[in-house]
Structure 1
């Protein structure tokens, strides 16, 4: 029995990898196009594009695994049936239930993996992705060009003679604080930094002047920090527990949780449905592996998309139970009684 289990697992692994890699590349391409579209609004280096892609990996794997599992399972069972290998196993005393139990164990592992990705890895990756985008968009709004007059940093006008990435040389900033009141700062060097969700201009080795109709004040500084007061929004990074606790008050988050939960259960829900139509006697039945794969994927993802828009946990459990019992009933009716 150990050898049979290894034989079935080996066949599934080969089929799964053959299917998973192309689907993974296709989904990755979709995400790369999505990431590349950000370059319209913000400047990204190759390293930053790679970083965003790595942060998207949990989502890519999450959307790839269920489809790959269903397709690989259909392909393995259909091929073993077509080559009469399942019939040979039956002749050796190994019935269809024993064969499917081996794949059910694999389905359980896949569902556990999907649950961990959906409810642990994805929230962390999505938050890091959004925080990085927010930071880059904040920096993009302060794309200061050397030698150009009239550029603004918050309430200040800024002029820069030379620039190297986020570092500046020989810069001047000006601000009119009120009627007849003005501020003027000059510095040999400065840097544009991101601090606590706001952009900050750090000036070094310079002079500051405050002018009113009554007096003119001068000050020399070693370091001066100028904050953009208009940017108060800070991206709040939550723990995994806090992230999902929002589902109690946020319907969008709740529906996302339901969607993730149902997608994670797809390997378990699909095993008997797939086996019911792909375990056949090739002498009397036609092989409908491709049609079975398409129909099962379509139905399950249609239900999942419905939960992303509406529904609740009780309804999800009821539908999951119906799908599970339907798969078992079809398996008993179409397969188990014969094999």
Structure 2
């Protein structure tokens, strides 16, 4: 029996990789397009593009594995059936349930893998993704281009004539504190400083002017520092527990997402009996309908998953799992185990 399990597992692994890799590449292209769309808002180089893609890998795997597992399971069983290999195993006295036990174990292992990805890896990768975007957006706000008007540093409008390395030359800054007061600063040079979450502009050798309706004040300075008070405090990372319990979204929405992840994670294990009921066939009397089985099974599972994400409750999740388990075993007993 150990050799039979190894043989079936080996065939499943080959079929799974053959299906998983193309699906993975296709979904990766979708994510690359989504990441590339960020270049209209922030500037990223190729290395940063790959870094953002690496943050998306857990999500890509999570959505690729269930479909790949169903397709690989159907292909393996239908190929073994059409090659009369299952018939030979039946003739040796092996029951269909015994043959299916190795695939049930694989389904259980894949379900544990998906649960780990959805509840551990994906929260971390999404936070890294958001933190990277926040950092880039913050840098974009401070990307001062020489010779352009209308650029802002915090609440200040800023004009720079030249820039060498990280130093600005011939700087003019305008700020309107209220309807009656206006401020101007001019400086020979300056540079942007970063200190933790605080960003400032350090000016050297210049003049400051404050204008009101009644008077004009002038001040000369050797150094002056202007702080950007408009910046956010940066992205705050959360632990896994706090991510699921103290998220910004409503509790109901978080619960629906948890139910969705749980159900999607269970698809490999729940699909074994359903798929086997229509792909463990006698090729002399039954036709190969593996493509139809893959399509209907996948559609069936994702309709339930989408329903749980929108209107689900823990009770509905439990009922869905029980009904699918009972339905799968009943169909398997009626169509396969009754004869083999």
TM-score by length of 1: 0.90
Deviations 1:96-155 (A, max 9, x none): 111111001001110000000000110111121122223323333444221123322122
C-alpha distance in structure 2 between counterparts of 1:206 and 1:243, whole Å: 48
Q: 1:202 to 1:2 in 2, by over 3 A?
A: farther
Aligned to 1:267: 268
What's the offset of the Cα at 1:242?
A: 0.5
Q: Name the stretch that deviates more: 249-258 or 109-118.
A: 249-258
C-alpha distance in structure 2 between counterparts of 1:171 and 1:112, whole Å: 61
C-alpha distance in structure 2 between counterparts of 1:64 and 1:330, whole Å: 26
Q: 1:249 to 1:169 in 2, by over 3 A?
A: closer
C-alpha distance in structure 1 between counterparts of 2:338 and 2:158, whole Å: 82
Aligned to 2:101: 101
Q: Name the stretch that deviates more: 21-30 or 246-255.
A: 246-255
Q: 1:56 to 1:215 in 2, by over 3 A?
A: same
Q: Is the 8 A contact 1:177 1:183 kept in 2?
A: no
TM-score by length of 2: 0.90
Aligned to 1:317: 318
Unpaired runs of at least 5, structure 2: none
C-alpha distance in structure 2 between counterparts of 1:318 and 1:98, whole Å: 27
C-alpha distance in structure 1 between counterparts of 2:164 and 2:261, whole Å: 44
C-alpha distance in structure 2 between counterparts of 1:240 and 1:322, whole Å: 31
Aligned to 1:336: 337
Deviations 1:235-272 (A, max 9, x none): 33211111111479432222111111110000011000
What's the offset of the Cα at 1:175?
A: 2.8
Which aligned runs of 4 or more in structure 1 are off by greater than 6 angstroms? none
C-alpha distance in structure 2 between counterparts of 1:48 and 1:262, whole Å: 33
Q: Is the 8 A contact 1:158 1:174 kept in 2?
A: yes
Corresponding residue SS for 1:145: coil
In the TM superposition, 1:266-285 aligns within 5 A as 266-285=267-286
Corresponding residue SS for 2:71: helix
Aligned to 2:255: 254
Q: Is the 8 A contact 1:272 1:327 kept in 2?
A: yes
Deviations 1:42-99 (A, max 9, x none): 2221122111111101100000011000100000001000100011111222211111
Q: Is the 8 A contact 2:163 2:169 kept in 1?
A: no
Aligned to 1:79: 79
Aligned to 1:220: 222
Q: Is the 8 A contact 1:169 1:189 kept in 2?
A: yes
Aligned to 1:67: 67
Unpaired runs of at least 5, structure 1: none
Q: Is the 8 A contact 1:135 1:194 kept in 2?
A: no
C-alpha distance in structure 1 between counterparts of 2:325 and 2:207, whole Å: 74
In the TM superposition, 1:90-169 aligns within 5 A as 90-163=90-163, 167-169=166-168
C-alpha distance in structure 1 between counterparts of 2:72 and 2:109, whole Å: 15
Corresponding residue SS for 1:224: strand
C-alpha distance in structure 2 between counterparts of 1:163 and 1:337, whole Å: 82
C-alpha distance in structure 2 between counterparts of 1:40 and 1:51, whole Å: 18
Q: Is the 8 A contact 2:193 2:202 kept in 1?
A: no
Q: Name the stretch that deviates more: 92-101 or 67-76.
A: 92-101
Q: How many residue pairs are counted as aligned between the two chains?
A: 334
